[in-house]
Amino acid sequence: MKQRVSALLREKFGREVVLEKPKDRSFGHFATPIAFSLSKELRKSPMIIADELASSFDDSEVFSAVEAVKGYLNFRLSENFLSEYATWALDNPAEFGKQEKKEKILLEFVSANPTGPLHIGHARGAVYGDTLLRLARHLGYDITAEYYVNDAGNQIDLLGLSIQLEGRATVLGEDVEYPESYYRGEYLTGLVLGAVEKFGIDILNNQSRQKELALWAKDKVMEIIVKDLGDLNIFFDTFVYESSLYDDWDRVLAKMGNGVYEKDGKMWIASETHGDEKDRVVVREDNRPTYLAGDIVYHNQKFERGYEHHVNIWGADHHGYIPRVKAAVEFLDYDSNKLEVLLSQMVSLLKDGEPYKMSKRAGNVILMSDIVEEIGSDALRFIFASKKSDTALEFDLAEFKKQDSSNPIFYIQYAHARINTILNKSDFSREEILNSSLKGLNENADSLLFDALLLPEIIEDAFSSRQVQKLPDYLKALAASLHKFYYDFRIIGSEDEAKLLKLFMVVALSLKTGLSLMGIKAKDHMSKEEE
């Protein structure tokens, strides 16, 4: 819709025109301050220019009115245009808001270590990434969701040790000393039992079998992670294992050429010359590659796989890591602008007013699965998608356990359910409703129709700006418009019943499409859960 208007204006003025949504609908559907920018070149006052421009739009099919107000140029879309567009959308619901962007994108997100279940911080990145993924798919991008599994390095050894310690304490009843970085949590108990069953009880005390144990356990942990993500409607296309990459190290090392050098018996990457604070070690004195080496091979592989754009979602605590990876990408002779790193900030939970500080290694992490169980996948997804991902978020758990209007997901679902109910109550058939016209509606209905048809713009904007919260914001506003309209006008029995029902169907389509892009299924009925 906006594209259409924008294209039309571009053609008319021979330049890109800024289109904005007026604060007040009485100004029209779209507006542009173009007269202000033209006033300098034309040496005329913005008001006069706007007046002249407005009068040049007489014969348009798309607009019913073009007015100049205080230098702004306000456009009102014609009934015809809106009605045709809405009818098309209802006839092609799966196509509503779709585009064909085609670009091939690799989206890597979550990528939590396979050493324990996901916690609430991971959930945020997961929801953010999956929402972007759904938006991108809707826009026609060829996008792949990938999980990078860090199954090499110290943390894996630590996992083996942790299981042994846990087993010695709980199964063998020994008095064990816990190192500080030892993993804790209920999941270990399950792993211990599984390990004993598979390997026999001896494995708990045999130091030489720690690695074997760990390699088995990380797969089990991945199963837990994948299941937890599935409960949130999040699914990955591909998994890349860090451990599988190091075979390729020599080749990648050679590929970086002068980007890597030897000093003090170690290999360094000259990342300082490419914007990093200093050079970094990639291979230690004892020949063991560092974590960065794995990431370099990984990114090389990503680029070799032929994507046009790469998006990584990382925890904000890794932001200092970005320059060195970008440096590596440049040494590998790829365009580091094609690597986009988005940050997902900390989440802090409040519980009964007490700040609940999370630490990944500590025993008292808040598990994602616990929260999903408490407030449900829909609410969790909604909350995390509603906030800009790169700012710290604080929320009180108790507040989102409520099943009332303070929980916006219920508000939106209720709007959708209301429409469904009223459609069922009406004597008109779906065919009769779809065949009716959307013209001659009152101003409020017209405005609601326009709001509902705005979804495609929101989808595009939310994805291209990577600000997924624009979608839930829009859905909240649309639901509010619906609720208000519902309160103000009686539909059943009105003269315009069929028309208004058609209007409601457009609203429902927007709500349903929008929700599904957030991984949430729209509800047709609300059932109140008793406490």
Partner RNA sequence: GCGCUCUUAGCUCAGCUGGAUAGAGCAAUGCCCUUCUAAGGCAUAGGCCUCAGGUUCGAAUCCUGAAGGGCGCACCA
Among residue numbers 189 through 208, which ones bind RNA (CB under 7 A)? Answer: none
Cα–Cα distance between 243 and 223 in angstroms, integer?
Answer: 17
Query: What is the per-residue binding string for RNA in 57-76, x denoting contact by CB under 7 A?
Result: ------------xx-x-x--
Give the nearest distance from C-beta 516 to RNA in angstroms: 19
Q: What is the signed CA dihedral for 329, 332, 338, 344, rounded to 10 degrees?
A: -20
CA 445 to chain centre: 31
Measured from the CB atom, the residue of 62 and 422 that comes closer to RNA is: 422
- Does residue 219 belong to the site contacting RNA (CB under 7 A)? no
Find the binder of RNA among 418, 499, 502, 512 (CB under 7 A): 418
- Does residue 422 belong to the site contacting RNA (CB under 7 A)? yes
- Does residue 211 belong to the site contacting RNA (CB under 7 A)? no
- Does residue 274 belong to the site contacting RNA (CB under 7 A)? no
Cα–Cα distance between 343 and 348 in angstroms, integer?
Answer: 16
Instruction: Restricting to residues 345-384, name those near RNA by CB under 7 A.
Output: 346
- Does residue 290 belong to the site contacting RNA (CB under 7 A)? yes
Q: How crowded is residue 261: how many other Cβ atoms within 10 Å of its Cβ?
A: 12
8-state DSSP, 119: B
- Does residue 442 belong to the site contacting RNA (CB under 7 A)? no
- Does residue 33 belong to the site contacting RNA (CB under 7 A)? yes
Residue 314 phi, psi (nearest 5): -120, 155
Measured from the CB atom, the residue of 171 and 350 that comes closer to RNA is: 350
- Does residue 4 belong to the site contacting RNA (CB under 7 A)? no
- Does residue 469 belong to the site contacting RNA (CB under 7 A)? yes
Structure tokens at 68: 């100049």
Instruction: Restricting to residues 161-180, name those near RNA by CB under 7 A.
Output: none
- Does residue 388 belong to the site contacting RNA (CB under 7 A)? yes
Please check whether residue 270 is in contact with residue 260, taking contact to mean a CB–CB distance below 8 angstroms: yes
Half-sphere exposure of 143 (CA within 13 A, CB side): 26
Helix axes 377-386, 408-425, angle to 10 degrees: 120
Structure tokens at 469: 């919260």
Find the binder of RNA among 131, 150, 162, 344 (CB under 7 A): 150
Give the nearest distance from C-beta 370 to RNA in angstroms: 20
Beta strands in 156-299 (DSSP E): 238-241, 260-263, 266-269, 280-283
Measured from the CB atom, the residue of 199 and 321 that comes closer to RNA is: 321
Find the binder of RNA among 7, 20, 230, 521 (CB under 7 A): 20
Measured from the CB atom, the residue of 72 and 334 that comes closer to RNA is: 72
Instruction: Restricting to residues 473-512, name those near RNA by CB under 7 A.
Output: 473, 476, 480, 483-484, 486-492
Contacts of 507 (CB under 8 A, 6+ apart): 415, 419, 448, 451, 452, 478, 481, 482
Beta bridge partners of 310: 106, 339
Give the nearest distance from C-beta 234 to RNA in angstroms: 21
